[in-house]
């Protein structure tokens, strides 16, 4: 089954304690990205990757890091989480390009609370 898997689904942590949210896809997609979703603001892109070892900032990259060492994995790292990073996070993957077969597939989301 084609899927994007995120872990953990729920996480409560304290300010400053480094954490990693994992994301893995089994569709051999080149393109992967991370979003955060906050009430009234919609989905905002944090980072994206167009292929292995190729990553770039999205709209709200401050406070986040990513890596793409393998095609299937794209972890999101918060080196020093702060309360304003409390949010719902989604990982997504899709084929590269701009045609109609480039729809994105989303992970189930990670609800992060930083206290």
Partner 1 sequence: RKEVEQDPGPFNVPEGATVAFNCTYSNSASQSFFWYRQDCRKEPKLLMSVYSSGNEDGRFTAQLNRASQYISLLIRDSKLSDSATYLCVVNGGWGKFQFGAGTQVVVTP
Q: How far is the CB of 80 from partner 1 (least distance, A)?
A: 26
Do 75 and 60 touch, CB atoms closer than 8 A? no
6 or 16: whose CB is closer to partner 1?
Answer: 6
17 or 22: whose CB is closer to partner 1?
Answer: 22
Q: How far is the CB of 74 from partner 1 (least distance, A)?
A: 14
- Residue that is written with structure tokens 């995120």 in the block: 6
In the complex, which residues of this chain contact partner 1 (CB under 8 A)? 33, 35, 40-43, 45, 48, 50, 56, 58, 88, 90, 94, 98-100, 102-109, 111
81 or 94: whose CB is closer to partner 1?
Answer: 94
- Cis peptide bond N-terminal to 11, omega within 30: no
Q: Distance (Å, rounded) from C-alpha 7 to C-alpha 25?
A: 12
18 or 68: whose CB is closer to partner 1?
Answer: 68
Q: How far is the CB of 17 from partner 1 (least distance, A)?
A: 24
Q: How far is the CB of 111 from partner 1 (least distance, A)?
A: 7
Structure tokens at 64: 């986040």
């Amino acid at each position: 089954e084609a899927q994007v898997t995120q872990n953990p689904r729920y996480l409560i942590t304290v300010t400053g304690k480094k954490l990693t949210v994992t994301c893995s896809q089994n569709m051999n997609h080149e393109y992967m990205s991370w979003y955060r979703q906050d009430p009234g603001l919609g989905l905002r892109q944090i980072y994206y990757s167009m292929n292995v070892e190729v990553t770039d900032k999205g709209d709200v990259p401050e406070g986040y890091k990513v890596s793409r060492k393998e095609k299937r994995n794209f972890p999101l790292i918060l080196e020093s989480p702060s309360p304003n990073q409390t949010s719902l996070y989604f990982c997504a993957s899709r084929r590269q390009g701009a045609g109609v077969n480039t729809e994105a597939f989303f992970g189930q989301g990670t609800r992060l609370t930083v206290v």
